[in-house]
Amino acid sequence: YIVRHKTVYRYNQNVPESLHLMHLRPRDTGRQRVVEAQLTIAPEPSAWIKRRDAFGNETDWVSLDDAHETLTVSAAALVEAT
């Protein structure tokens, strides 16, 4: 299966900086295997930290330090069901 997701934030005015926690990458389970997963973020984050939370979920912390009026987050994953 190919799973895709896209979110676009449009702000009324420039946002000077922002911090986001995302849960957009699937995880392996007994019934599925993630072959590939990737996020695309625009504008490009100043910092990006990928971690796994206490429940085994993939998380992405991103920081945008430059002013922006929009934020676009696209996620794509290739998942095999068993």
pLDDT digit string (tens) for 23-66? 999 999 999 999 999 999 999 999 999 999 999 999 999 999 99
pTM of the predicted protein model: 0.89
* pLDDT higher than 90, residue 73: yes
Model pLDDT, residue 4? 98
* pLDDT higher than 90, residue 9: yes
* pLDDT higher than 90, residue 75: yes
Model pLDDT, residue 60? 97
Model pLDDT, residue 82? 87
Distance CA 76, CA 24 (A): 9
Other CB atoms within 10 Å distance of the CB of residue 75? 20
Phi, psi angles (nearest 5°) of residue 53: -80, 180
